[in-house]
Structure 1
Amino acid sequence: MVAAGCPVEFSVPPDFEELEIGATDDRIRDIVQERLAGQHMPDGVAEALLMSYEHAAHALHTAGAFYAGTCLGLIDGDPSSASLVLAATPMDGRDSRTVASGIVQISTARHGEKCAAQVWELPCGPAAVVAQPQLAVFVPGEYAESGTDEATFVAQAQAWIPVPRHRTMVTATLSTPSTDHWDHYCEVFTALLRSLRFGDDEQTADRGTPAAPPSPSSPPPSPPTGAEVPGNPFG
């Protein structure tokens, strides 16, 4: 696909299904019911997932994201969900490593010990990767059960990948309220990042199909694991 003039190839993580950006509320309800068919969810979980899907579909449409996917199901018998968003915006920087290093410095200064930020050397080039195992997110009242704005906590990993030759910044964001499954989603996010290719990348072997995640001898470090989360915000 082409996003903001930049050809992008990547492997969709297993168990993630594409979210129909801009879908109507009726279509969203049908999608959620189809995907949860046959799964026994605790009371209230399905409705909460429906509201989350509605909010995401509308917000992403407004933001201009080029891919969004969600994972809804059970891990070790417990309900689990996560969202994945890829977007592209214009960029003026010409040196990808300088841009990535700058983002890491800004993120560290802004969030301090609440985040882990570093530059990863990916097959497609350097990327600024920031992980926040405990991030407060505000849910608008129209999507909250209480009817008023309220805060919830999620674990989030985000990457900024500069593509100077296309004057584009590609971002990838994985968020999950299922903090007990943070280790699992860190592995998912790492594999996604390592699968990214930008069309005319010399390392892209097959431009007609999504690139498969490589298997390097020395993979980049993973985001913080669940053991490093400073307390489970869900109790």
Structure 2
Amino acid sequence: MTTPTSTVPPALSNDGSDIPPLWFTVPDGLFALPMAPTAEERSSLAHAFVRELYSQGDEALWTPAAPYYAAIAEYMAEEGVSYSAMGLFSTDGSGVAQCALTVAAVETDQTDPEIAAHGTLAILSTDPLNDARWLDLPCGPAVSCVTLRELTLQPEVTATGEETKLLTGQIQVHVPFSTGPYTAVLTLYTASTEYWGEFCDMVAAILQTISFVEPQD
């Protein structure tokens, strides 16, 4: 998987709510979905999004794809997701490693980031399938949770027509806000687990850039 270059950090949108802002940097190769508060804005952003995502396409592809991604963005916004992106990275061969990245803000009853992180770690550690760990980030304490699961794909949805096993991985990091009673939840999900190490490195790099105050650079 190629090493991406950092882009301008997006701010976690509060859309008029009381959620404090959050900034982070993402690499090239992550295409942000058209998250916006109104249907008109989502539609406009969706048209730009599909042209960037499918840069080799044309209007025959872009026109039907734009409303689809606008609808996905609306659904995610309703579920509390403030940032969502699709990751497409070229591999050493001719393939593509894919992932999905989302960031959401969850309200908590705790304003002390360290207490909130300890509580999150205690809850996540109760599931034996979770690899939950404490993190010390530049922005403060956080908790990571890694889960690998094997899914069974039925014959009707596989290229070979035979039942297939698919290994998927999820990295979820809970970062308590230092500026309010909220926790940012960053989740990366991928079925390209042959590049699991690279995705772990990418998430680690993103976490180092999280900031609750607007970066000066």
TM-score w.r.t. the length of structure 2 is: 0.68
Unaligned runs of 5+ in 1: 40-48, 139-143, 200-205, 210-235
The change in CA–CA distance for 1:29 and 1:207 in structure 2 (over 3 A counts) is closer
The change in CA–CA distance for 1:8 and 1:32 in structure 2 (over 3 A counts) is same
Matches within 5 A, 1:61-76: 61-76=77-92
Per-residue CA deviations over 1:12-40 (Å, capped at 9, x if unaligned) read 2231121113756x98688446524449x
The residue that corresponds to 2:175 in the other structure is: 161
Matches within 5 A, 1:70-85: 70-76=86-92, 77-85=94-102
TM-score w.r.t. the length of structure 1 is: 0.64
The residue that corresponds to 2:161 in the other structure is: none
Letter in 2 for 1:62: E
> How many residues in Structure 1 have an aligned counterpart in Structure 2?
181
Q: Is the partner of 2:81 in helix, strand or coil?
A: coil
Letter in 2 for 1:57: A
Per-residue CA deviations over 1:195-223 (Å, capped at 9, x if unaligned) read 00001xxxxxx6355xxxxxxxxxxxxxx
Q: Distance in 2 between matches of 1:95 and 1:191?
A: 25
The residue that corresponds to 2:115 in the other structure is: 98
Preserved contact between residue 33 and residue 46 of structure 2 (Cα < 8 Å): no
Preserved contact between residue 34 and residue 49 of structure 2 (Cα < 8 Å): no
The change in CA–CA distance for 1:136 and 1:119 in structure 2 (over 3 A counts) is farther
Aligned CA-pair RMSD: 3.6
Per-residue CA deviations over 1:73-120 (Å, capped at 9, x if unaligned) read 43122222111111112221133222212222221212x1x3211110
Match of 1:188 among 177, 192, 202: 202
Q: Distance in 2 between matches of 1:17 and 1:34?
A: 8
The change in CA–CA distance for 1:12 and 1:90 in structure 2 (over 3 A counts) is same
Match of 1:11 among 22, 25, 44: 25
The residue that corresponds to 1:126 in the other structure is: 141
Preserved contact between residue 135 and residue 156 of structure 1 (Cα < 8 Å): no
Q: Distance in 2 between matches of 1:101 and 1:136?
A: 31
Q: Is the partner of 2:126 in helix, strand or coil?
A: helix
Give me the identity figure in percent: 23
Q: Is the partner of 1:94 in helix, strand or coil?
A: coil
Letter in 1 for 2:126: A
State the shift of 1:63 in Å.
1.0
Preserved contact between residue 73 and residue 80 of structure 1 (Cα < 8 Å): yes
The residue that corresponds to 1:89 in the other structure is: 106
Q: Distance in 1 between matches of 2:206 and 2:175?
A: 12
The residue that corresponds to 1:172 in the other structure is: 186
State the shift of 1:171 in Å.
1.1
Matches within 5 A, 1:209-224: 209=217
The residue that corresponds to 1:225 in the other structure is: none
Q: Distance in 2 between matches of 1:153 and 1:53?
A: 26
Q: Distance in 1 between matches of 2:46 and 2:72?
A: 11
Preserved contact between residue 74 and residue 80 of structure 1 (Cα < 8 Å): yes
